[in-house]
Amino acid sequence: MKTKKIAIVSDIHANIYALNIFLKYLKNNFQVSDILNLGDFLQLGPHPKEVTEIILKDKRFINILGNNEISLLKRNPSAFPEDEYAHQDWTIEQLGPEIVSKLGQLSKSNILTINKKKIYMIHSRPYSTTAMPLLYGGKSLNDFIKDYDGIAVDYILFGHTHVQALIRYRGNKTFINPGSLGCSKESTVSFCLAEIDSETINFTFKKIRYDNSKLKDDFIKLGVPAAERILKVFYEIEM
């Protein structure tokens, strides 16, 4: 069986600079057949339209929704602070109705079989799209694993925490979090690469440092609502 190369990404968060760095890395170093995108590709960033056009057009991408896309599809003003809701309005306006309706066709999870390996794609938890995975909520590894019980797969790919992780559990399930591609306090682009054959999957985590000053400039230039708070909280950049 031929070895298959794939990439795993999550939490692109409307950052076109980070997405382009990742795509260039693949072109030059690791040519993949599939890019598994675990959601939250929108919000907290200034380039929602550019990012969505790429992930919908580039046929290597297999996309699922994260909580940030779901909040755009199912509006709920009482669930968000005013500036966050305004940021959602701005993102929807940038995307336009055609792209928003395409987002509505994506699912919240996906199971793939690649070279006889069963792979589950989920943004966070199987029964909640918004809550943090239990491990990151301070629960034990056992509680964390139990949360994904009943899903008969070999590998569970999740995002949402923005923290890279590989957790092997008693040889029967492996959990992978590729980290956040576009939203980081260290000005890095994080993702995971995998080589799959009939016996094993080899995972390699990547973190590429880049200059995010253009990202900050775009937040200001484009008048992104809640820019000051987002830059401070999610990128540790003071305006």
Q: By CB under 5 A, name the binding residues for Fe ion.
A: 40, 66-67, 160
Shortest spacing between CB 10 and Fe ion, in angstroms:
8
CA gap 151, 229 in Å, rounded: 38
DSSP string across the chain: ---EEEEEE---TT-HHHHHHHHHHHHHH---SEEEE-S--SSSSS-HHHHHHHHHHSTTEEE---HHHHHHHS--GGGS-HHHHHHHHHHHHHHHHHHHHHHTTS-SEEEEEETTEEEEEESSBTTBSSSPPGGGGT--HHHHHHTTTT---SEEE--SS---EEEEETTTEEEEE---SS--TT-EEEEEEEEE-SS-EEEEEEEEE---HHHHHHHHHTT-TTHHHHHHHHH----
Shortest spacing between CB 179 and Fe ion, in angstroms:
12
Task: Indicate the residue among 32 and 163 with the shorter CB distance to Fe ion.
Answer: 163
Shortest spacing between CB 133 and Fe ion, in angstroms:
11
Shortest spacing between CB 170 and Fe ion, in angstroms:
28
Shortest spacing between CB 182 and Fe ion, in angstroms:
12
Cβ neighbour number for residue 76 with a 10 Å cutoff: 10
Task: Indicate the residue among 122 and 201 with the shorter CB distance to Fe ion.
Answer: 122
Shortest spacing between CB 16 and Fe ion, in angstroms:
19
Task: Indicate the residue among 43 and 196 with the shorter CB distance to Fe ion.
Answer: 43
Task: Indicate the residue among 5 and 108 with the shorter CB distance to Fe ion.
Answer: 108
Task: Indicate the residue among 96 and 137 with the shorter CB distance to Fe ion.
Answer: 137
Task: Indicate the residue among 48 and 66 with the shorter CB distance to Fe ion.
Answer: 66
